[in-house]
Amino acid sequence: MTTPADPHAETVEARLPTIEEVEANVQRLRAQREARARTAGIVYPILAVVGVLVLWEAAARVFAIPAFILPAPSLIAASLAAHFGLILYQGWVTTSEILLGFGLSIAIGVPLALAIFLSPAFARAVYPLLISSQAIPKVAVAPLFIVWFGFSLLPKVLIAFLIAFFPVVINTAVGLATIEPEKILLAQSMGFGAAATFFKVRLANALPLIFGGLKISITLAVVGAVVGEFVGGDAGLGYLLMVANGSMDTPLLFAAIFGLTVLGVAFFLLIEIAERLAIPRHAERQRAGAHESM
């Protein structure tokens, strides 16, 4: 005799999801988690900034803090609107100094890092000089550049370069050196020559560290340009800071600082966009790690 089939078991089996449905649910949940993480990454900083500004405005009004000591955000916004054209012009001057100093740091820093990687003797000779160059305060060197090159654009560019090139050199040299030997052996076993191995394997492996150095370098280039304008500038946001400080115009001082902040953040984001375009897989791994940690 045959045992009749259990209708309840057939109903349970019919309700079980297929593999395709499980995978679709997993993808949907992952997409929702990534969307929440992206939203949180935008909303939380905005809420934090708004909260700080509200507390700042309230403290300035409640405690009647003089504007020349700590102006309220509303006064800073009014000064920014009143001097917007001036800040925009001075910001363009500082931008040119930043970009030229940053470009010079790449043009000199990357070949120097390549020479350090290829020649251990050259590395031993140059490393002490690199470390010494970072130990010298750039503010102390800036007046010397003014004596040599006058009050032109060149001294500011050179100071921005001196401050910005070190992370480019170190990160590029370390990135080229830190690669698993198995990857090199695999490339050689596949018939890659020395040039193909360098560009397709070693350089590709070093790109995350190189872009990390570029992000640090661009922010330091902003600092270098401002230092140069402090010492011998007749234009730029750093020069505007000195003028505002001399006239005790603290709202304009904060407005110029805001302009410098915008420049630094904008350049950092541009480097990050370039990184995502150059190495999208690395950027995806970074985003996945950030989402898993949230």
Identify whether the C-beta of residue 164 lies closer than 8 Å to the C-beta of residue 220.
Answer: yes
pLDDT tens digits for 95-125? 999 999 999 999 999 999 999 988 888 888 8
What distance in Å separates the CA atoms of residue 115 and residue 4, rounded to the nearest whole number?
81
Identify whether the C-beta of residue 162 lies closer than 8 Å to the C-beta of residue 224.
Answer: yes
Tell me, what's the pLDDT at 103? 94
pTM listed for this prediction: 0.80
Tell me, what's the pLDDT at 233? 74
pLDDT tens digits for 75-96? 999 999 999 999 999 999 999 9
Tell me, what's the pLDDT at 1? 47
What distance in Å separates the CA atoms of residue 50 and residue 34, rounded to the nearest whole number?
24
CA 85 to chain centre: 27
Architecture of domain 70-293: Orthogonal Bundle (1.10)
Residue 220 CB partners (closer than 8 Å, separation 6+): 163, 164, 167
**Residue (of 179, 191, 261) closest to 222 by Cα position:** 261
Q: List C-alpha distances in Å: 177 to 111, 113, 115, 118, 136.
A: 14, 10, 12, 9, 27
Identify whether the C-beta of residue 37 lies closer than 8 Å to the C-beta of residue 290.
Answer: yes
Tell me, what's the pLDDT at 60? 85
H helical segments located in the chain:
7-15, 19-62, 73-82, 84-118, 120-135, 138-149, 153-177, 181-189, 194-197, 203-232, 237-246, 250-278, 280-293
> Could you say which residues of the chain have pLDDT below 70?
1-17, 21, 282-294
pLDDT tens digits for 136-157? 877 778 888 888 887 788 888 9
Domains in the chain: boundaries = 7-60, 70-293
